[in-house]
Structure 1
Amino acid sequence: MSSDSPPVRRLADWDHDRLARLAEEHGTPLYVLDVDRVAANYRRFAAAFPDAHVMYAAKAHTGRAVLSGLLEAGADIECAAAGELQRAIDAGADPNTLQYTAVNPPGGDLDYAVDLADEHPGLTITGGAEDTFDRLEDRGYDGRVAIRINPGIGTGHHEKVATGKDAKFGIPYDEVPALADDLRDRFDLVGLHAHAGSGVLREDLDDHCRAIAKVAELAREVGDSDLEFVDFGGGFGVPYREETEPLDMQAVGERVREAVGDLSARIKLEPGRYVVADAELILTTVNTVKETPATTVVGVDASLATLIRPAMFDSYHPIRNVSAPDRDPHPVSIGGPCCTSADVFATDRPIARPERTDLLAIGNAGAYGYELANQFHSQPRPAEVAIEDGDERVVRRRETMADVVRVEDEAGE
């Protein structure tokens, strides 16, 4: 896929015959990942910010196929946990290029990061609490650090992702200058970091750019000429709803540069969702169609254990009948096999009328899809198939019931 690929990929753009064949070969529910689309999304984003250092925020999707594909495309990796650091290294990342953004880090995570930095001093550790820096010093660490700032402005698609105004994230804005002076005596202070929120679209850009401008102004107050970078995070969204237009990233790049203004330090950005969301979907099979006075209930074999975002964030995901996309649309409520009313993907949504055994596709599942998959109701997690350069391969096998109970069985050995 070329770097001038469309800025959004809708469900209708996927090859339905191929999807049907993959479902037949590998069963459902099934994650289908387009690695070429991941790389194309990254290149489009990087082209909009030619002077910035663009890293991929691994928490959106840590699959090895995604990480290795992005590394090949030239991306560096930003990690929010020790496990993500390890997965980035396993995918081929040079530890000296990694950035670890610690949020209330467990002791084991800090131990891992400090040990890693002992061997790879290019690693950068970002702290969002004075306590974190004290804990690093207690471990004998005096290497590269960045301060995570709380700009007091949150943006994004849901209050649970508006991190820029959540006290959990970052040092209060007014406390940063004094902390920076202190840290310069104890560590190699190389940057500032902030993240306003996630899922930012056109209506959120004004607030997002206000947060960026506020962080840039603080960087100048702290002394940006003495900093290597100022990291403005990611958060740029994708259109989950069919009627929503995608961001014009070239225009967004201009807005961001205007908000930053003159800055001696290099701009750093960390897209996550933007890179992977529309590069993956979930295939699921209809097993039940039930007419009720209130609605037509369509039961599928995917569930909130497969994709928890609708239950967690009330998120909208497009759904398409792959088996019969041209049937007349009919309002249906689509849900999975979990014994909770939260296990619903759509309510009274017009879909080409599903019938039992039809194959449905749930779109925009690449960001925080498999990452949040779980084993609720003792459901094994699904397989994941990657498409790259025309080839297909299983990159995560389907779990079995033996996988679900393995840690209990091993504990009893």
Structure 2
Amino acid sequence: MSGDGDASGASVRRLADWDAEDLRALAAEFGTPLYVDDLARVRQNYARLAGAFPDAEVLFAVKANAGRHVLRTLAAAGAGAECASAGELARALDAGFDPADVHYTAVNPPAEDLDYACRIAAEHPALTVTAGARDTVERLAERGFAGRFCLRVHPGVGAGHSESVSTGKDAKFGVPAADATAVLADAAERGFDVVGLHAHAGSGITNDQIEEHEAVVSTLADVARETDLALEFVDVGGGFGVPYREDEDALDLERVAARTRAALDGVDATLTVEPGRYLVADAGVLLTEVNTVKRVGDTTIAGADAGMTTLVRPAMYGSYHPIRSLVAEERATENVSVVGPVCESTDVLGEDRDLPAPERGDLLAVGNAGAYGVEMASQYNSRPRPAVVALDGDDAEVVRRRETLADVTLAEDTASDPYP
């Protein structure tokens, strides 16, 4: 059931490359809204990226898609895991990642998260813990941490698909570069095993933002040269973008890799990268059914059973996702806006799309939904979250069941139950 266009592992997989008949069959069998993840495509994306960075350690940014099916696929392929929370750390270890290939890189971690990370680090000394603030270094020391330590640096330069994810210039992330060597020395004096540096430009880096990425890498290289400590690795983050719009080109990954290596010239440390979106975005689609059609002037509104609680990126970031009608017959096209069932004006999956004139019961596919799709789904408006199906060749398996109304109130219904 894999899409026809991914057989060669090409760097771009468009929504049109998915087989419409297969997608209709999945919707008929499993219902909608429905996320579909193609594990063969995940493997292809990983192989391409690992090939561009042959001497690097590749850690999957778990926040992009923490589904067990995705994590197990990437662990088997040879990837490590970058975890931004205690929950992601627990998921990565449960999925079978070797602790030596796992980094915990939380930002301002809550006390319970940090307690958990320190306990796991004590049980698995090969695990690496990253901190991005002097306070976090002190909090680790207060907990008796003496394990592998990486410092996150604030480079002051960012990139990404929107200002909301341009983390490199956000002071929330990392220790100022000018203070980094002092913080590294302090961590070493506290008994930490200082092994690395980390920084991240942002999420969704495009071809015209490679210079910003290179500037971030150069900042890390400068810090690595200034410190007297021997570092095992320099982690330049991920954020490698994918083309969401049909007319966008794929990221020139070879160019990114070459510029990254050039910026690290002379630094005696292993390169680490943390791709998330790049590995899973075009491996997933969201299927949704039209239930209401309304024509207002020159605009047609197609109301669907998926909305901002299913895929929040358009509402949160103004993100563009391609939308394709999967109707089998030929129809004249109209200017269509696809909206969801949530009582918000921002509940829009796509506006002003040239689509076949919609009718009730039509099936729509939303592309590039494999990254930050189901991960950011919510129960706002007390709506159950959607199911997820994993494809692996001709096999299709429900890997996350569709929630019910009972799931929406489960935490309240069990509020008096004792904690484990």
- Find the aligned partners of 2:295 and 2:8 in 1 and give their Cα distance: 45
Deviation at 1:368, TM superposition (A): 0.6
SS at match of 1:297: strand
Would the aligned equivalents of 1:3 and 1:44 in 2 still touch at CA under 8 Å?
no
Matches of residues 7-406 of structure 1 in structure 2 within 5 Å?
A: 7-186=11-190, 187-223=192-228, 226-293=230-297, 295-324=299-328, 326-406=330-410
Letter aligned with residue 189 of structure 1: V
CA-to-aligned-CA distance 1:259-313 (integer Å, 9 cap, x gap): 2222101110000000000000100001111111252111000010000000000
| 1:381 alignment partner, SS class | coil
RMSD of aligned residue pairs (Cα, Å): 1.4
Unaligned runs of 5+ in 2: none
* Native 8 Å contact 1:4 1:44 kept in 2: no
Summarize the Cα distance change of 1:295–1:132 in structure 2 as closer, same or farther, 3 Å threshold.
Answer: same
1:321-342 CA distances to partner (integer Å, 9 max, x unpaired)? 0124853332111100101101
Following the alignment from structure 2 to structure 1, what is the Cα–Cα distance between the partners of residues 254 and 416? Answer: 57
Cα 1:264–1:33, aligned 2, differ >3 Å: closer, same or farther? same
Q: Residue 3 of structure 1 contacts residue 43 of structure 1 at CA under 8 Å; is this kept in 2?
A: no
One-letter amino acid of the counterpart of residue 254, structure 1: A
Amino acid at match of 2:186: D
- Comparing 289-298 with 82-91, which one deviates more in the overlay? 289-298
Structure 2 counterpart of 1:347, which letter? E
The separation in 2 between residues aligned to 1:40 and 1:223, in whole angstroms, is 40
- Counterpart residue type for residue 215 of structure 1: L
Given residue 289 of structure 1, which amino acid in structure 2 is its aligned partner? V
Secondary structure in 1 matching 2:153: strand
* Poorly superposed stretches of 4+, deviation over 3 Å: 1-4, 324-328
Aligned to 1:247, the other structure's residue is in SS state coil
8 Å CA contact 2:338, 2:351 repeated in 1: yes
Q: Quote how far apart the aligned CAs of 1:210 are.
A: 1.6
**Contact kept? 2:177, 2:219, Cα under 8 Å:** no
The one of 394, 398, 412 aligned to 1:408: 412
The one-letter amino acid of 1:284's match is T
Task: Give, in whole Å, the separation in 2 of the partners of 1:122 and 1:3.
Answer: 37
Residue 143 of structure 2 aligns with an amino acid whose one-letter code is R
Partner AA of 1:367 in structure 2 = A
CA distance in 1, matches of 2:53, 2:303: 44
Percentage identity across paired residues of the two chains: 55
Quote the Cα distance in structure 1 between the aligned partners of 2:141 and 2:76: 35
Contact 1:57 1:77 in 2 (8 A): yes
Secondary structure of the structure 1 residue equivalent to 2:346: coil
| Cα offset, 1:104, TM superposition | 0.4
How far does residue 177 in structure 1 lie from its aligned partner after superposition?
A: 1.2
SS in 2 for 1:303: coil
TM-superposition CA deviations, 1:166-198 (whole Å, max 9, x none):
010000110111111111111111000000101
- Distance in 2 (CA, whole Å) between partners of 1:193 and 1:8 is 28
Which segments of 5 or more consecutive residues in structure 1 lack a partner in the other structure? Answer: none
Q: Which amino acid aligns with 2:118?
A: V
For 1:83, give the aligned amino acid.
G
Distance in 2, matches of 1:293 and 1:359, equals 24
The question of whether the paired residues in 1 share the 8 Å contact of 2:298 and 2:335 is answered with no
Measured in 1, the distance between the counterparts of 2:48 and 2:356 equals 33
1:65-118 deviation digits (Å, cap 9, x = unpaired): 000000010001110000001001111112232100020000111110111111
Give the 3-state SS of the residue equivalent to 2:414 in structure 1: helix
